[in-house]
Amino acid sequence: MEPPLRTVIRKDMRLRAAIVVGVAWFIVACADPEGSSPSTSLDFPSATATSITEMAVSNTPTVVTSTSVSATRVEGLLFDFDSPGSVDGWYVQNDTVMGGVSSSSVNWDDGDLVFSGVLSTENNGGFASTRGPIIEAITEPVFDAIAVESQGDGRTYLLQVRTDTDNYVQRFTPQSMMSKSMLALDDFVATDWRLEPLANRPPLMSNAIRQLAIYLLDKQVGEFVLRVGSLALVSS
């Protein structure tokens, strides 16, 4: 059986990216034989439970189909769900931590992370989320957007970005086909644990990103399914 077209496209994109990176390293090596790539490390505490209520955040990220997007720069790729093990470290956190009854799960299927479940507002609940593992510190280059490759169900989801000190959020509505939503870092809003905007917080910078989470809330009750193919930092 021939592999799916999207799988072939991904492999071709990775091959091209690998060739470009290899050539770049060869040029650098010739110019500076003694040069070496920097190493980075991160010591970050484990994530804790987060309680969420509503907040009105209005923004409209750019959405483009996957076929019209150039290959993501290799150093900006945060998560690529091309194998079953790629979802390791992702887990769910629902309103059950505050007495709600919403349910969700995160699984791998055919090259995608699948976040699905049932959202309920009973018992003062109203959110379901999936959270990723801690991201190794990013030093350079500086990116200005997050590309979310996803396929949705008509609902609007919220991407939460955690830094060492703050949480930032932005909503996006995936198309019914696999596509990329470009979420500019300038459009992320710093919030408290209730998603209330915080004043006098620094703008979100790519080298401050430590963890990503995806939420469904806003009283969008019922069954939901979100497929995520990749999450990457990009330069617009």
Residue bearing the bigger pLDDT, 9 or 199: 199
Residue 115 and residue 148 in contact, taking contact as beta carbons nearer than 8 Å: no
Both 149 and 221 in one domain: the answer is yes
Both 32 and 48 in one domain: the answer is no
**CATH code where residue 193 lies:** 2.60.120.430
pTM equals 0.71
CA dist 18 and 16 (Å) reads 5
Both 97 and 24 in one domain: the answer is no
Going by the DSSP 8-state scheme, the letter that residue 6 receives in this structure is H
Residue 183 and residue 78 in contact, taking contact as beta carbons nearer than 8 Å: no
Both 182 and 68 in one domain: the answer is yes
CA dist 187 and 161 (Å) reads 12
Query: Which structural domain, as residue segments, surrounds residue 23?
Result: 1-37
Residue 143 and residue 192 in contact, taking contact as beta carbons nearer than 8 Å: no
CA dist 67 and 16 (Å) reads 15
- Report the domain count for the chain: 2
Q: Kindly state the percentage of the chain with pLDDT values over 90.
A: 63
Residue bearing the bigger pLDDT, 85 or 25: 85
First to last CA, the chain: 37
User: What is the tens place of the pLDDT at every residue in 64-101?
Assistant: 433 333 333 345 899 999 999 999 999 999 999 999 99
Both 104 and 54 in one domain: the answer is yes
